[in-house]
């Protein structure tokens, strides 16, 4: 059965349940299947027709046939995800600014003040740390002197 006949036979069926006057389950499944297929397809290349007076949206031909095909004949296109492909290195159009031409925004004065406060606190902590280290070095020297005196006074205890 050609896809055209398959499509026609499906479209000619009534899709309303005669008892409930609601859409049949087959129709709802068909719509769901169609939506899944649409979401799997790559984005269409669309643009405004510049030579038309009404600026209609035109779609570039993607090489597919216009007739619908049954689900078992639809395939996802193979995508080459090979290593070594360079992406995004094409030259930019002159209307697109490069990243080196980014606009400079002056920093927020509040952020500058916070950074200055943190710098001041760091300086204070560094001086406190230096003072503590000097005190520890002095204490260590004093402890060593006391230990030497103890060794001289009580040589039997330290042998």
Amino acid 97: pLDDT: 54
Amino acid 95: pLDDT: 54
CA distance 22 to 30: 15
Alpha helices in 18-69 (DSSP H): 25-40
CA distance 26 to 15: 8
Q: What pTM was estimated for this model as a whole?
A: 0.32
Contact 25, 31 (CB under 8 A): no
Core vs surface per residue 47-58: b (16+ CB within 10 A) or e = eeeeeeeeeeee
pLDDT per position as a tens digit, 68-113: 555 555 555 565 555 555 555 555 555 555 555 556 778 889 999 9
Q: How confident is the model at residue 147 (pLDDT cuts 50, 70, 90)?
A: very high
Amino acid 122: pLDDT: 96
CA distance 135 to 139: 6
H or E segment and range at residue 59: strand 57-59
Name the phi and psi angles at 106, rounded to 5: -65, 145
H or E segment and range at residue 1: none
- Whether the pLDDT of residue 121 is over 60: the answer is yes
pLDDT per position as a tens digit, 21-67: 667 777 778 778 888 887 887 665 555 555 555 554 544 445 555 55
Amino acid 150: pLDDT: 93
Amino acid 111: pLDDT: 92
CA distance 45 to 35: 19
Q: How confident is the model at residue 19 (pLDDT cuts 50, 70, 90)?
A: confident
Amino acid 25: pLDDT: 75
Contact 51, 45 (CB under 8 A): no
Contact 39, 31 (CB under 8 A): no
pLDDT per position as a tens digit, 123-138: 999 999 999 999 999 9
Bridge partners (DSSP) of residue 17 are none
pLDDT per position as a tens digit, 54-75: 554 544 445 555 555 555 555 5
């Amino acid at each position: 059965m050609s896809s055209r006949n398959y499509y026609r036979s499906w479209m000619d069926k009534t899709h309303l349940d005669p008892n409930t006057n609601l859409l049949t389950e087959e129709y709802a499944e068909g719509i769901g299947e169609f939506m899944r297929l649409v979401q799997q397809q790559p984005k269409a290349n669309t643009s405004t027709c510049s030579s038309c007076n009404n600026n209609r949206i035109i779609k570039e031909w993607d090489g597919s046939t216009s007739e619908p095909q049954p689900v078992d004949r639809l395939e996802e296109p193979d995508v080459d995800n090979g290593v070594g492909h360079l992406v995004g290195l094409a030259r930019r159009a002159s209307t697109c600014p490069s990243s080196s031409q980014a606009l400079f925004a002056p920093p927020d004065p509040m952020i500058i003040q916070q950074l200055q406060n943190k710098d001041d606190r760091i300086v204070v902590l560094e001086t406190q740390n230096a003072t503590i280290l000097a005190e520890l070095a002095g204490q260590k020297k004093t402890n060593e002197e006391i230990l030497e005196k103890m060794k001289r006074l009580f040589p039997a205890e330290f042998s």
